[in-house]
Structure 1
Amino acid sequence: SVREGGQLFTWGQNTHGQLGVGSQSTLIPQPQLVERLQGISLAQIAAGGAHSAAVSLSGAVYSWGKNDFGQLGLRDTRDRDCPSYIGALEHWKTVFISCGADHTAVLSKEGLVCTFGAGGAGQLGHNSTRNELTPRVVAELWGARVSQVACGRWEIYVPSLDKVYLFGSDEEGQLGHERTPTQLIPLPINSPVNTGESCQGKDYCRCTCNLINTFTHFIQNSYLNGIATLKDEDVDTWISNFGLQHWESIKKNIRLIFSSEACINGSFL
């Protein structure tokens, strides 16, 4: 939980130091201040299976917790009980980060995606099942104009402005129909919204459909290449066109630009 002043407090299970408070206790029932991030203005925090990450307003990325597959992006497999700066992402201009069970995905302001950590189910999208200890760009998504990323347990969902890409494990059908058990590279899928198909059965299927529907709404209402960010010319246009005649259009643009954490972070990075 991030307080209004920017201080991060964590509590709960701490078996691998995923709370970032420097304690060896396996359970911390009361909120504790993450002192290592004191004075750093945070834009976003994310939690995985037993690891955590945070993005600052300047685009710096910090990670801590379980690291047996390299999911912290720190070039090794040693757990951390305090936030550590990911130097490999120094010039990345990160606007959003997502954590899976044992893997991590990062989105840059330019719409590039890099992944690291466990790759045994192909969830890193590098056409292999190898683990990655260092952030690595997903080459198959070059030019895809990615606008968001979301890690599942063993898979990653990546919406661009005209498609939704999925990759990773499909043992329970979470990647859609006619998929191999392990999808090693990002491939676009058909949203149930577009195909008219229903998504029934287990909770993971319903959650996947809800996620895809949300992404599809974002895609269909987007008018920019890559991440929708606030620009000076947008504000000037809104001010000059302010009035009842243009109000609905202005509201639509504002909703789009502030439609996700990635858009907000990118606007002020």
Structure 2
Amino acid sequence: MFVSAVVSSLQPVNQSERSLNVSSRARMTNLHDVAKWPIFSLMEVELLNSIHQACVFGSGGNEAIFTTTDGDVYALGNNHNSCLGLGDIQSTLVPRKIEVLCGKGVTLMAFGSGPHVVVATDSGELYSWGHNGYCQLGNGTTSQSPERMAPCLISSSLGGCMISQVACGSHHTLLLTDKGEVFAWGYNNCGQVGSGATANINAPRKVSSLLSGKRITALACGQTSSLALVDNGEVYGWGYNGNGQLGLGNNVNQPSPCRVSSLSGVVISQITCGYAHSMALSDEGILYSWGANSYGQLGTGNKANLVTATRVGTDIGRFVEIAATHYSHISSAMLQSGMVYMWGQCRGQSVTSPLPTKFTCLDDVFACFSSPAVTWRPLRFETFVGRRALEDSLKSSFDNQENSDLKIMLEGKSIHVHKAILKIRCEHFRSMFQSHWDEDGKDVIEITQYTYPVYRAFLEYLYTDSVSVDPEDAIGLLDLANSYCETHLKKLCERIIKQGINVENTPTLMAAAIKYEAQELEDFCFKFAVNHMTAVVQTEAFQNLDDYYLKEFLTKAAKWGAFKY
């Protein structure tokens, strides 16, 4: 939702309104700057602007698959092992359509280092192509015939389930359904498919054993290892364990899922795998790592391998996101403050402790410092020429007295803004600044319903599309977003609250979620409270809960089974 022309000097309202134009698509958090990925550098601007999601892969980061907002699917690059899905072996620097996938609603993409590619559609279809020497395409064969050059529909017994996630190791694939079940296929020499044996699996097969009856919420693959996260915060691993990447306290391979016992008592919310190391993030923002460490990828300050999960970056702050890829030995993580750190093999250098960067998202670490430069997850972004200059221009114009035409007063403090931008960005102000309302002719408006920090954060959001407040102020901003019908801002506030939740503020945040009818946030806060029940009920905030919210929590907790012996 950015103005699509750089405004060097904002003029009075009527002139500004004629010269400013707004994109209809909402900007997503942590947008990736596509210019950092060299493979996209020759693309036409119009096609660049239409990209919805993309994967960059290959031994040199020289292959890419991307979808557009129109539902088309393109590929470009070296086409090693026909991994572009174009039906031939020709390399291309010009994006070519993967015709069979256009209009199919591709939503999920993953790739192995063979390479092979697996994609899923919004209707539940699953396609694969590329190298198939180890059954990694899941089509029932190990065929290297021309059929593997183009996307092939995988027939499987998923029971009509929708697909929530796809993850690939070097030559094996994991799939997660919306019912929390895991299916796997491909190379299985170390047990990475989780079948209980080491024979290759040529079609999707359900991973059971200790995962039976559990609801899995996330998957991650190393080169020859696999991890699964259960909805109760437990982590299970299987496959190759020669570097301790399963976190089991030994170096013995596991052909069936085993619980990562070194994380017992910790509620994990995120997992990720590098080439031969693993990382996990707890729901309290604590980072753990284990496995291979020859490049410092564990972030422990040395190069010693670890066979059990160990805390990392304890003196840095609260982590909110972690990243790694089976293609490389680099690790990255983001703090609640937005600071991005990296460590491991950074462009050939070994960095053994988390190193602060100037990046604003984890994706940029992999574009600039990973070897090879591949994506650790599918990118979702939008971009257009001049966006960076535009962002800087709008940011510098916020609360700038020299070129503003409106002053908003709160608690005796002033904020200088521009009516044109407020009208373009917010329906509330479009209604306020109509000719038949008194506010349209005013140079100063006083706001009494909200605090200065909350309202300032809201106005700054209108200029930058980003929010920087602590979780407690995010509650007030959530109230404002709810009142002004700002759906995107409401989601940003919910994210801030999720990333900042702790034992002390859980009751307050949960009460706010109930009050503002933020159901997803309410469920998140409730789950955190149940996972830390003993500590939460002893907090002052819990003791001060209104009877209504206390009753709501206790009733829901009882239905959850929190009070069963």
Q: Which moved more, 1:168-177 or 1:46-55?
A: 168-177
Cα–Cα, structure 1 residues 71 and 256, in superposed 2: closer, same or farther, change >3 Å?
farther
Q: Which has the higher helix share?
A: 2
CA distance in 1, matches of 2:196, 2:510: 50
CA deviation after TM superposition for structure 1 residue 75, in Å: 0.5
Question: Who is 1:86 aligned against?
Answer: 154
Contact preservation (8 Å) 2:513, 2:521: no
Question: Who is 1:183 aligned against?
Answer: 254
Cα–Cα, structure 1 residues 203 and 245, in superposed 2: closer, same or farther, change >3 Å?
closer
Question: Who is 2:67 aligned against?
Answer: 2
Alignment of 1:52 onto 2:117: yes
Contact preservation (8 Å) 1:174, 1:204: no
CA distance in 2, matches of 1:256, 1:19: 40
Question: Who is 2:197 aligned against?
Answer: 128
CA deviation after TM superposition for structure 1 residue 31, in Å: 2.3
Runs (5+) with no aligned partner, structure 2: 1-65, 267-281, 301-308, 311-321, 325-332, 334-481, 484-508, 525-565
Cα–Cα, structure 1 residues 182 and 204, in superposed 2: closer, same or farther, change >3 Å?
farther
| 1:141-160 to 2 correspondences below 5 Å | 141-160=211-230
Which of 486, 505, 520 is residue 253 of structure 1 equivalent to?
Answer: 520
Contact preservation (8 Å) 2:118, 2:126: yes
Which of 226, 234, 240 is residue 169 of structure 1 equivalent to?
Answer: 240
1:168 maps to amino acid = G
Contact preservation (8 Å) 1:123, 1:168: yes
CA deviation after TM superposition for structure 1 residue 184, in Å: 1.2
CA distance in 1, matches of 2:522, 2:153: 32
Cα–Cα, structure 1 residues 55 and 255, in superposed 2: closer, same or farther, change >3 Å?
farther
2:123 maps to amino acid = S
Deviations 1:154-181 (A, max 9, x none): 1111001121111111112222252333
Q: Give the fraction of aligned pairs with identical amino acids, expressed as a percent.
A: 26
Cα–Cα, structure 1 residues 175 and 255, in superposed 2: closer, same or farther, change >3 Å?
farther
Cα–Cα, structure 1 residues 206 and 82, in superposed 2: closer, same or farther, change >3 Å?
farther
Contact preservation (8 Å) 1:173, 1:205: no
Q: CA RMSD of the aligned region, Å?
A: 3.3
Cα–Cα, structure 1 residues 245 and 112, in superposed 2: closer, same or farther, change >3 Å?
closer
Contact preservation (8 Å) 2:243, 2:251: no
1:191 maps to amino acid = L
Runs (5+) with no aligned partner, structure 1: 215-241, 258-269
CA deviation after TM superposition for structure 1 residue 193, in Å: 9.2
Question: Who is 1:33 aligned against?
Answer: 97
Deviations 1:26-54 (A, max 9, x none): x4333221111122011111111100011
Secondary structure in 1 matching 2:218: coil
Alignment of 1:108 onto 2:172: no
2:242 maps to amino acid = E
CA distance in 2, matches of 1:168, 1:115: 12
1:253 maps to amino acid = E
CA distance in 2, matches of 1:256, 1:101: 36
| 1:188-203 to 2 correspondences below 5 Å | 188-189=259-260, 190-191=262-263, 194=266, 199=289, 201=293, 202-203=295-296
CA distance in 2, matches of 1:203, 1:17: 34
